[in-house]
Structure 1
Amino acid sequence: MPAPHTLSFDDHCASVPGARFTDWLAQRAEPFWSEATDHVFTHAIGDGTMPDEAYARYLIEDYTFITDLASTLGYLVAKAPDMQAKSRLSAFLALLTSEENDYFLRSFDALGVPRETYTQAAQGPVTRSFADLLLTSSGGGTYPEGLTCLLCAEWCYLTWGEREAEKPRPAQFYLAEWIDLHAVAGFEDFVNWIRRELDRIGPSLSAEMQERLADLFRQMSALERDFFETAWSGHPPEHPGAG
Structure 2
Amino acid sequence: MRATDQLMNDCSETWEAATNHAFCKELAEGTLPIEKMKWYLAQDYKFIDRFVRLLATAITHAPTLADSIPAAQFLAVITGPENTYFLRSFEALNMTQEEQNAPAAKSTLAFQNLMREAQVSGRYEQMLAVLVVAEWSYLTWANRYVAYSPDLPFWFSEWIDLHCGDGFEGVVEYLRSQLDQVWDGLTDQQKADATQMFARAVKCERDFFDASFNSQD
- Contact in 1 for aligned 2:40/2:215 (Cα 8 Å): no
Corresponding residue SS for 1:23:
helix
Which residue of the other structure, out of 208, 212, 217, is the alignment partner of 1:231?
Answer: 212
For residues 19-49 of structure 1, the C-alpha deviation after alignment (integer angstroms, 9 at most, x for no partner) is 1100001011232111100111111121111
Number of the residue aligned with 1:187: 168
Which residue of the other structure, out of 147, 167, 182, is the alignment partner of 2:128?
Answer: 147
1:89 Cα shift? 1.3
1:184 Cα shift? 2.5
- Residues 173 and 21 of structure 1: CA distance in aligned 2, closer, same or farther (over 3 Å): same
* More off after superposition, 200-209 vs 97-106: 200-209
For residues 205-237 of structure 1, the C-alpha deviation after alignment (integer angstroms, 9 at most, x for no partner) is 22222222221111111110111111111231x
- Residues 88 and 117 of structure 1: CA distance in aligned 2, closer, same or farther (over 3 Å): same
Gaps of 5+ in 2: none
1:172 Cα shift? 1.3
- Residues 232 and 202 of structure 1: CA distance in aligned 2, closer, same or farther (over 3 Å): same
1:171-182 equivalent positions in 2, closer than 5 A: 171-182=152-163
Which residue of the other structure, out of 65, 73, 80, is the alignment partner of 1:98?
Answer: 80
Cα distance in 1 for partners of 2:25, 2:151 equals: 11
Higher RCO, 1 vs 2 (CA within 8 Å, ≥6 residues apart): 2
Structure 1 consecutive aligned stretches of length 4 or more whose deviation exceeds 3 Å: 166-170
- Residues 115 and 87 of structure 1: CA distance in aligned 2, closer, same or farther (over 3 Å): same
Identity %: 34
Number of the residue aligned with 1:12: none
Aligned pair count reads 217
Number of the residue aligned with 2:90: 108
**TM-score normalised by L of structure 2:** 0.95
Is residue 2:15 matched to residue 1:33?
yes
Cα distance in 1 for partners of 2:169, 2:88 equals: 24
1:41-190 equivalent positions in 2, closer than 5 A: 41-118=23-100, 120-169=101-150, 171-190=152-171
Report the structure number with the largest CA radius of gyration. Answer: 1
Which AA in structure 2 matches 1:24?
Q
